[in-house]
Amino acid sequence: MIYYEQFVLDNGLRVFVHEDESTPIAAVNILYNVGSRDEDPSRTGFAHLFEHLMFGGSRHIPSYDEPLQKVGGENNAFTSPDITNYYITLPAANLETAFWLESDRMLSLSFDPQVLDVQQKVVIEEFKQRYLNQPYGDVWLKLRPLAYQQHPYRWATIGKDISHIENATLDDVKAFFFKYYLPNNAILVVAGNVTVEQIKQLCKKWFEPIPAGEQYIRQLPSEPIQGEARKLETSAKVPLNGLYKAYHMPGRFDLDFYRTDLLSDMLGRSKSSRLYQKLLRDNPLFSNVGAYLTSSIDPGLLVVQGTLNAGISLEEADAAVEAVIQEFVEQTVPEDELAKVKNQAEATLAFAEVELLNRAMNLAFAANSGNPDLVNEEAAHIQAVTADDVQSIAGKVLRKENCSTLYYRAA
């Protein structure tokens, strides 16, 4: 159970405090309600670029890392299609340093042309190394636009094309910052050896003077229901053939998400899963195979993927996966199999709560959904899922016409 108190500053910043006297550490997490889904289709990769730019100096602080390191702190960030998240852990005695740093870069970046130039080069190199020059690295550059025709999930967080980052101007950067990096478009979570009153005073000093901006109202195109199976073939110099199958599924805050999550676990989470047992142990068509979810806020994807053993054709492997899936859809879900994946899912939740930073992040993510109590309700949602629920959602999600298949051939 993650206990918390919350309040809202005059500028709209939502603040959540999780007190834990058992640790000498504090975690400060700021979630900005902007991800790659909010980008202009002709200017993609900006949310991720900003993750880098936010460490390049702010209005009054030329170096972000140096003051933090001097007080024993660490920091990092990540960007997803849905959010951009920044976090600091440091000794609780030095908490104000984190407030000073984070409030100054929320107020304004330095907008130094040299910083933009440096970070553009860093992101472009990351694009090349992770997506273009790595085996199977471009899978999501191909699979996303195959599965999504309208929704901005159709491009990866890194962006659609390197040119979008290369051509970013300082005016583009400023416009993006002042549209999304606002106190009223952010959630602050402070966890650890702190008090609510202490956090109220620090927020009043450091964050409340930052003016609110125009409220961002998200209006994204919905993805139409997929009415026919899609298929794409590609090839590259990779060790083995790869198979990727993506099925549309409910979004992260839909109750059917939990049913689909357990479905994916039964299909391909572990060595006891159906795909592993049938297609790797009993009939070794794959060198590895599994299933997972993108867990996105808007309707996401259940993905089955694997690399094939040498000498196995993609057509044969695809037919074998389809057979496993069809059997799942048609046969009753065994209660003991469902109970096992429920226990695995609950154990994952419990282990996640051990780390203070994970608690802060999970609370921020739940708050961003509009229901911060969700951080403590997920175990109950998991346990409420029945075998009939899993059977029902399998019939809806695992339809052939709801699937986009990518054959990745070894050249």
Q: What are the DSSP calls for 378-406, one per residue?
A: HHHHHHH--HHHHHHHHHHHS-GGGEEEE
pLDDT of residue 166: 94
Cα–Cα dist 324/59, whole Å: 57
pLDDT of residue 407: 98
Successive 10-residue mean pLDDT values, the chain, 411 residues: 97 98 97 97 94 91 93 96 98 98 94 92 95 95 97 96 94 94 98 98 98 95 97 96 98 96 96 96 97 97 98 97 97 95 94 95 96 96 97 97 98 91
pLDDT of residue 325: 97
Residue-by-residue DSSP string for 249-312 = E--TTSHHHHHHHHHHHHHHTSTTSHHHIIIIIIS--EEEEEEEE---SSSEEEEEEEEEPTT-
Cα–Cα dist 302/290, whole Å: 11
Is there a single domain that holds both residue 32 and residue 112? yes
Using the 3D structure, point to which of 206, 222, 255 is the last residue of a domain.
Answer: 206
Is 199 buried (19+), middle (13-18) or exposed (0-12) by CB count in 10 A?
buried
Is there a single domain that holds both residue 169 and residue 68? yes
H/E segment holding residue 186: strand 186-192
Is there a single domain that holds both residue 143 and residue 78? yes
Contact predicate 323/279, CB 8 Å: no
140 assigned to some structural domain: yes
Beta-bridge mates of residue 245? 304, 405
220 assigned to some structural domain: no
Is there a single domain that holds both residue 273 and residue 165? no
237 assigned to some structural domain: yes
pLDDT of residue 129: 95
Secondary structure class of 69 (helix, strand, coil): helix
Residue linked to tokens 């209660």: 335
pLDDT of residue 150: 97
pLDDT of residue 389: 97
Is there a single domain that holds both residue 140 and residue 190? yes
Is there a single domain that holds both residue 253 and residue 109? no
Is there a single domain that holds both residue 143 and residue 180? yes
Q: Which residue segment(s) compose the domain that 172 sits in?
A: 5-206
219 assigned to some structural domain: no
Phi, psi of 287 (to 5 degrees): -85, -25
215 assigned to some structural domain: no
Is there a single domain that holds both residue 259 and residue 175? no
Cα–Cα dist 376/362, whole Å: 10
Using the 3D structure, point to which of 149, 171, 206 is the last residue of a domain.
Answer: 206
386 assigned to some structural domain: yes
Is there a single domain that holds both residue 188 and residue 242? no
Q: What length is written for the chain?
A: 411
Is there a single domain that holds both residue 268 and residue 309? yes
H/E segment holding residue 88: strand 84-91
Whole-prediction pTM = 0.95
Is there a single domain that holds both residue 190 and residue 238? no
pLDDT of residue 345: 95
214 assigned to some structural domain: no
Is there a single domain that holds both residue 168 and residue 281? no
How many domains is the chain partitioned into structurally? 2
From the CB of residue 230, how many other CB atoms can be counted at a distance below 10 Å? Answer: 15
263 assigned to some structural domain: yes
CATH code for the domain of 249: 3.30.830.10
Using the 3D structure, point to which of 190, 206, 222 is the last residue of a domain.
Answer: 206
pLDDT of residue 134: 94
